[in-house]
Structures are given as C-alpha cells and as structure tokens.
Amino acid sequence: MTDDEPDVPILCSACDTETRVPLSDVAETLERHNETQHDGEECAQVDPDLADQLADLVAEDIGLL
Ligand SMILES: [Zn+2]
C-alpha cells in the first residue's frame, strides 16, 4: 500500500451519512459501523457509483489487470 491511496465514500442509507475513508480502511470501517450501529446488518456500503471504479483499482493493485 502507498501513502497516496484514494479516499472512498461510504454511504449509509440508514443513518443518511457519507464518510470518506482511505481505501485500506474501507472494509474495517464498514464492518465496524454496521456492527456497532446496525447489529451487523449491512446498511453502510461503498458509494455504488464508485464501486465499479474501485473494483478496477483494486484489481490493478493486486495485478489482475
Ligand atoms: Zn449507519
């Protein structure tokens, strides 16, 4: 991982909030939010508009493309 990783918007429809976190923190942030705020329900998720781009980014990162 590098220091200049992109921030990723996380949307929670239940809380009506948007939070930007570094790419490497996304999974942990989502898990913690849903665990603590929503009893483990997957309410918060990565902005769907970005999810596709993100998938490409991650795929590039791990050398799939
Ligand atoms: Zn929430």
pLDDT tens-digit readout, 5-39: 788 899 999 999 999 999 889 999 999 999 999 99
Mean pLDDT of 41-61: 83
Q: Which tokens sit at 35?
A: 């665990």
Ion ligand 1: residues, CB < 5 A? 12, 14-15, 37, 43-44
Whose tokens are 């997957």? That residue is: 42
> Rounded to the nearest whole angstrom, what is the distance from the C-alpha of residue 10 to the centroid of ligand 1?
10
Is 30 a member of any domain? yes
- 1 lies in some domain: no
Asked if residue 18 belongs to a domain, the reply is yes
DSSP tally for the chain: helices H, then strands E: 2, 3
- Find the 51 Cα to ligand 1 centroid distance in Å: 18
- What's the CA-to-centroid distance between 23 and ligand 1, angstroms? 19
pTM recorded for the entire structure: 0.71
Please tell me the total count of domains within the chain.
Answer: 1
Distance 15 CA to ligand 1 centre (A): 4
Q: Which of 34, 35, 5 is nearest to 20 (CA)?
A: 5
Look up the domain containing 25 and give its range. 7-61
50: in domain: yes
Are the CB atoms for 21 and 36 separated by under 8 Å? no
